[in-house]
Structures are given as C-alpha cells and as structure tokens.
Structure 1
Amino acid sequence: MDHHIAEALSRPALVRLDSRTLCLRFETMKVASALEAVRYLLERGTIAHGDTLVDSSSGIYAHALALACHRYGLHCHIVASTTVDKTLRTQLEILGATVEPMPPSQSLKLDQSRRVERVREILRDRPRHHWMRQYHDDVHYRGYRPIADLVREHADCSRLTVVGGVGTGASTGALTRFLRETDPDVELAGVQPFDSVTFGSEHVHDPEIIIAGIGSSIPFGNVDHALYDTVHWFGFDAALTGSVALLREHAIFAGLSAGAAYLAARWEQRLDPDRHVVVLAPDTGHRYVDAAYSRHEQAMAPDDLRPRQIGALEEMDLPWSRMRWNRRQAPPNGQLRISTPSPASTAATITATTAAAS
C-alpha cells in the first residue's frame, strides 16, 4: 500500500505491445526522479523539513516537485513559464506550491531570460531555498533504479534496446545506466526534436515544434551523451503520426515524445527483428489534444514513414533522421561550459543555464 499518491505515480504501467516490445507508460514520469531526489537529499541532510525547494518549469517537473514536497512536508516555489496552463497552476496552488508566473510573452527566449533573472534573485535573497537543478544534478538519476529492476524482470536484457526522449538524461540515460550494470550490451536509442543543441540539431528548424521538452536550446549538465548508441530526430508531423498510431494500435494515449519513440522503436526492431525493445511514454496525451490529436486525420500511415539515415549532423532533415551515435561525446554546442573556475561564478552560470532550460 502506498502512503502518498506520488509513490503510485512514480511507478509506470508496463504494457506488452507484442512479443518483443514493452511500453513503460507513465502518467507523469518526472515524479519518479523528483520523489527519490527529495528523499535522498533529506536523508543526507542537504535539505531539512520546512525548507523551500525552488526550480523553474514549463509544467511537468513543477507538478512532480510539488507532489514530492507535499509528500515530505517541504515548501515548493515554482518560477512558471507562460506555458503553464490554468489547470496545472490550480493543482500546484492547492498542493501548497507558490507559483510565480512570468508575464505573457510571444518569445520563448524572452520568457526563459525572465525566469533566469528571477531564479537568480530568489537564490541570492533566500538562503533557505534549495535549487533542485533538474537539468544538471545527477541526483535525479536515482529514481529510475526500481524501474530498471522492473524491466529486468520482464525483458530479455541480453538483446534489449531502450527507446525514449533524451530530455535531461535522467530517464533514458538513467534507466540504461542501471540496466547495463548487469547487461552491458543494452542499447540506447535517444529521441530528439529538431532545434535542439543536445545532439546537434539546432540548425534544422521545425515551425510546429511542440516537443521541445525532450531537447533544449542550451546544453544540459546531466545528459551523458556517451550512453547513447543511436539518435532519432523527429519533427511534429512524424511525432503526430507515431502518437496516433500508438493510440490506434495499442490504446495508449500518450504525449508526442512517446509517439516519436514508438516510431523509432518500430524501426530499430525492423533493423534487428531478434531484439527486444522498451519504449518510454513519459506522460499522457491530454495536454496535446488541441495542438496535436485534434489533427489526427492529418497523420500519415506509420509504415509510409522511414528515417533519413545520416552519417554526419549536417545531413539531417525533416521529418525524421537517424544516426548511429556509437556512445561518443557531446557535439560542440551540446557541452556545458563553465566560464570561470570560481565557485561563485560557476553557481551563477549553472543557475542561469538551468532556469533557461526548465
């Protein structure tokens, strides 16, 4: 029996799609990382009951952190993007979180820069506030160990490929790192949007991009690029096709990154039919209804789509590209750089970077 709803939400449903494909379907995946991160920080004495945890968010992490704070009796302060809607904001406020929205803006970059400045002010003026650093602190990997154990129980990990959105690295990266402790040959296929520096797609623009949560315009500190064997880049049209197919074929209503991962998983299994595949579906499809699912009649037949196989980043193009990454290091713009070695300037640099990314 669970003692808090966050504990239930931290566990995914494990759904068998076919004899060699499993789907880890979460309602809100980041609850797994936020809940364990907060528990661990309390255990170590890094934070204490009554402290305030702060981060910037466009929605999903805000919900996860608010649930974790509610579970452990902590205060929560969210510097909220303009993309946080009324439904989510109302939940956060009832959970006890302080939600500080940014002014309306037509520019995502302007919205991010405002959040940067505000987070820096909070950390400077409120010493009892603890910044969670969801995009830079490896503590967020810890929550995925039980999920790796679950996969290990039900899949042949000797020939397994994990497929899912890269995001902060604390989902696909963490899951694969734990699985490789017993099965080092587990492969990892990461899903990225175009317009992201994480794996070098910032030169390809997708005018309809709404899956930016799995990528970023700035480098993330806890993405371990050397964990990834293959990378798939998706545009909106291909991700929509995958999402509609996942719902139509398996009744799984999930977000656009799950749809992209589903197409990528189908392709990886087509290349090697003997492999087992685990697809990550990190959230439900509810917030994509108006922008994506309402256009389901525009979705293509998934079998009509195939990735553009590339050997160099400059070769990629819409709507879907694939490249063997071969566990290499980050591309130049995907590396987090600290401008000076002093602790104060390092903290300020990372603070600004995280606030912009969230």
Structure 2
Amino acid sequence: MLDHHAVAPPIHEHVTDAIKTPALIRLTPNTVLIRFETLKVYAALGAVRHLLDTGVIRPGQTVVDSSSGIYALALAMACHRYGLHCHIVASTTVNDTMRAQLEILGVTVDQMPPSDDLGLDQNLRVARVRELLTQRTDMHWMRQYHDPVHHLGYAELAQLLLRALPDEPLTVVGSVGTGASTGGLTRSLREHDPRVRLVGVQPFGSVTFGSERFTDPDAIIAGIGSAIHFDNVHHDLYDRIHWLDFQHAMAATVGLMRDHAVFAGLSTGAAHLAATWEAGRDPLRTHVVIGADTGHRYTERVFNRHREALDPALLEPVEITSPVEPAPPWAAIDWARRPYWPVVPARQRPRELRKDVVP
C-alpha cells in the first residue's frame, strides 16, 4: 500500500548534490559520525562556484591541481557540473580505480612514478603543476593546499550540523590534511557558538604540527598529514592535536567496522579513535567525527589485514606539553588555539608562545 505520508527523497540535478550530503550516525550517546562518500565535494563545489561567480575562471577553462585522491575526484565532478576542463597531477598513491573514474570524466591525468617517499611525491607534483602553468597560461591553479576559497563550501555543512544537533555542545574531530574541512567547518560553527572545540589528527612524519623528524614506514600520510607546509591549515583553530601511527589508525578503522558496521577510510578510523578518547574525558559534549571517505582504497593495506589489528579498547595516548615531545605510537597535546611554532624546546620559543610565562 502506498504511504501518502512518507517524505519523498529529493531529486537531484547533478550527482554532486547527492554525494555531498553525509549520513549522520550516532555511534555512542556523545559521538556522532559524519559519513561521506567523498568529503571534498564540499570544498571543490564551494571553490568552483566562488571562482565562477567572481569571474576568476570562466566556463570552458581548464583548472589544474595536485591530489592524492579524493580531492581529484571531487574537483572532476565539480568541473563536470559547471562545464570546466580538469587536469590532475596525481600522487603515486592514486590507484587504478580512481584513475579510471577521472579519465572517464574527461580529466587529463599526470601521475607521479612509484615512490616510498611521499614528501618527494608531493614536491614533484607541485613542480609539475608549475611546469604546466608555464606551458598553458590559460590554466587556473586551484591550490587546494593554500587557497582559502576551499574553506567556503563547509559553511553549508555547518548549517546541516546545527539543524541536526541543536543545542548540543560540539567538538569536531577530524584529520588535519589540507586544513580546509576541519578549519572551514569549525570556523562556521564558531560563528554560531565560539565554544565549539576542534581536535585535529596527524600522522607521525607530518610537518604540519611538527612531527617531521619521526618516521612511520607503514604510514599512509596522504590526506591526513603532509610533508610540506599548507597555508590552509590555521593552527590557532585547534584545541587539541593527536598524533597516531599506522598501527593505531588501522586498529581503529577495523574497530569501527567491527563495532558499528561502518566501512570507512583510514583517516576516519584515526579520528574515531581520538574522538573516543576525548569523549571519555568530556562526556557532556557531542564529538562529531569527520568520516572523509569510504574504505575501498584501503582494502588491501588495512581491511585485508584485519586479523593483525590491535584492540582499540586497549590503546591510549601519552599526554605531552610540547610538540618537541611526541613519540609513536600515540601522543596528544592541548594545543589551545595557539599559532604554529617551530619545533624547538620551550625555553627557546618566543615569549608570547610560551605557556610558562605571563605575556
């Protein structure tokens, strides 16, 4: 029998409208997962719309950028929607499935050669983009790592959360990556409530919060941390930072599937582990975990190894007071919305960045 009271699902004009809307899943009384098929559709759509509206780019023009995967697909879909050409300089980590999707969407793909050095991979990609710009002056470099236009799309996500979780004190927990998702979402939420907290997750080896002197041979740094500095990371937005090694992130990703039947990527698992710890420390706040993508591209390196996974319930971080101190496998710090400082002993930091002196 037809239920005339049922709410009909919306009919979307383009697939990006369907993909960008996440599912909100309450994992525990004070932990909610925002589960995306691909998070960066918000960033790509917001950026492309703004650039078109302001005349920076025009329909039919070619945009170019470097990507380790999900931003490339999001930008390709945004270009498909708005009649733009797209050129991606792809990380060595981009797999055949992702590359096939990009090529079918008409994207020109330059992929870096295989490498175990993801810092070198990132630098080679940027160098290739610069080379293309000298050859094609009509190209527009999207600069997802540096152009603040990529923060804009997350204002829409903030409004969705405020409607779904009214009057709940929020803590956003997510991988830092380019800084656009955690930064853009939190900045928009704080316009409504300045008390919204932000917890960022980093791998060891990332320069973003100063752990570049560590190495984690198994780390999949792409999409979580970085080997180069990103202007889109605003350090003074973050209240807490967690550093996790690959084994801990893998344990949490497998645990998320086992406990909640959620098949998600490595950054989601890492954020969930940090959020579980934070939720235990602050049970009156709702911890919103950013689930950036599904687990498909981690099948071989994470899910096929599920029998090796540690028990997340037995894991806990070492609390530290300075970014000089973190050491694998898991460390956490009260960042306290401070600007970034170079990784030097506290006594050598500028006076205004030290907590042990009164400015």
TM above 0.5, yes or no, is yes
- 1:293 and 2:303 matched: yes
Partner letter of residue 254 of structure 1?
A
Q: In structure 1, what is the equivalent of residue 51 of structure 2? A: 41
Q: In structure 2, do the counterparts of structure 1 residues 187 and 106 end up closer, same or farther at CA, with 3 Å as the change threshold?
A: closer
Q: In structure 2, do the counterparts of structure 1 residues 94 and 212 end up closer, same or farther at CA, with 3 Å as the change threshold?
A: closer
Does the 8 A contact of 2:95 with 2:297 survive in 1? Answer: no
CA distance in 2, matches of 1:198, 1:113: 15
Q: Among 259, 271, 280, which residue is 1:261 paired with?
A: 271
Does the 8 A contact of 2:210 with 2:323 survive in 1? Answer: yes
CA distance in 1, matches of 2:264, 2:326: 26
What are the ranges of 5 or more consecutive residues in structure 2 without an aligned counterpart?
A: 1-10, 345-359
Q: In structure 2, what is the equivalent of residue 348 of structure 1? A: none
Does the 8 A contact of 2:119 with 2:226 survive in 1? Answer: no
Q: In structure 2, what is the equivalent of residue 249 of structure 1? A: 259
- Cα displacement (A) at 1:114: 3.2
Q: In structure 2, what is the equivalent of residue 193 of structure 1? A: 203
The DSSP-based 3-state class of the residue aligned with 1:322 is strand
Number of residues of Structure 1 aligned to a counterpart in Structure 2: 334
- Cα displacement (A) at 1:156: 5.0
Q: In structure 2, do the counterparts of structure 1 residues 104 and 321 end up closer, same or farther at CA, with 3 Å as the change threshold?
A: closer
Partner letter of residue 205 of structure 2?
D
Q: CA RMSD in A?
A: 1.6
Partner letter of residue 120 of structure 1?
R
The DSSP-based 3-state class of the residue aligned with 1:78 is strand
Structure 1, 83-92 or 60-69: larger mean CA deviation: 83-92
Structure with greater Cα Rg: 2
- 1:99 and 2:109 matched: yes
CA distance in 2, matches of 1:125, 1:40: 26
Q: In structure 2, do the counterparts of structure 1 residues 184 and 316 end up closer, same or farther at CA, with 3 Å as the change threshold?
A: same
Per-residue CA deviations over 1:20-69 (Å, capped at 9, x if unaligned) read 22110111111111011101111111100110000112221111111110
What are the ranges of 5 or more consecutive residues in structure 1 without an aligned counterpart?
A: 335-358
Partner letter of residue 108 of structure 2?
T
- Cα displacement (A) at 1:11: 1.4
- 1:180 and 2:180 matched: no
Q: In structure 2, do the counterparts of structure 1 residues 128 and 324 end up closer, same or farther at CA, with 3 Å as the change threshold?
A: same
Per-residue CA deviations over 1:309-335 (Å, capped at 9, x if unaligned) read 00112221111100000000013279x
Does the 8 A contact of 1:75 with 1:96 survive in 2? Answer: yes
CA distance in 2, matches of 1:240, 1:178: 31
Q: Among 319, 322, 347, which residue is 2:329 paired with?
A: 319
Q: In structure 2, what is the equivalent of residue 275 of structure 1? A: 285
Percent identity for Structure 1 against Structure 2: 58
The DSSP-based 3-state class of the residue aligned with 1:135 is coil
- 1:205 and 2:215 matched: yes
